[in-house]
Structure 1
Amino acid sequence: MQQNGMISIPDFEPGSQRIVTTGCGRLLVCRTDDAAFALDNDCPHAGQSLFGGVVTNDRIRCPFHGAVFDLRTGQSIGSRLNPLRLYPTQIRDGEIKIILNTAELKDKS
């Protein structure tokens, strides 16, 4: 559900991933035991989906070519790829909340 630049995702268990379509595009949302991460779904290497990439130690590995990115910073690990675009998240009342920049929402429409 999208509302005033925020999306709420209920019933999101640790260890799971989902693709969410927003006014900012398709985002990949990953949940670990203690955090949630929202990022552009496309790998900057070749535009492939990051969905299904292995998440360990707050890092995600692209399932297509193996590039690794830090989910806290978006930076690539061990390569010179462009960083992932990240979106702020909160876990509140069992839901993941993604905060979207309303200026970006207007630019994409």
Structure 2
Amino acid sequence: MADPKGDRVSVSQTFKNLQGKVAVVTGGASGIREATARKFALHGPRTVVTTDFQDDKGQNVAASIDHDRSTNIHCDVTDEDQVRSLIESTVKIYGRLDVMFSNASICSA
């Protein structure tokens, strides 16, 4: 429920707004991004797509969430073509994309 000033939405209302949505979480194979994908899955999105270049970890996260509600698509966010393909694949598979949680980190040695 919104606060009396009308400028904030409660956490429960935010999660309610996620119900039935298709969400993508970049870098969802580990860290806070994995936790975000799991939290989203608990609170209503029809599908959570995790993306990462760590395919084994991403597949494990998706499988542990639920094969019917989560999938992992390989994506290196430093490659614009892979990001474009991720979005196109998600829309092709699920018919839409409602939430894009772009929080993948890029590390350089």
**TM-score, with normalisation over the residues of structure 1?**
0.28
**TM-score, with normalisation over the residues of structure 2?**
0.28
Rg comparison, structure with higher value: 2
The structure that is strand-richer by fraction is: 1
The structure that is helix-richer by fraction is: 2
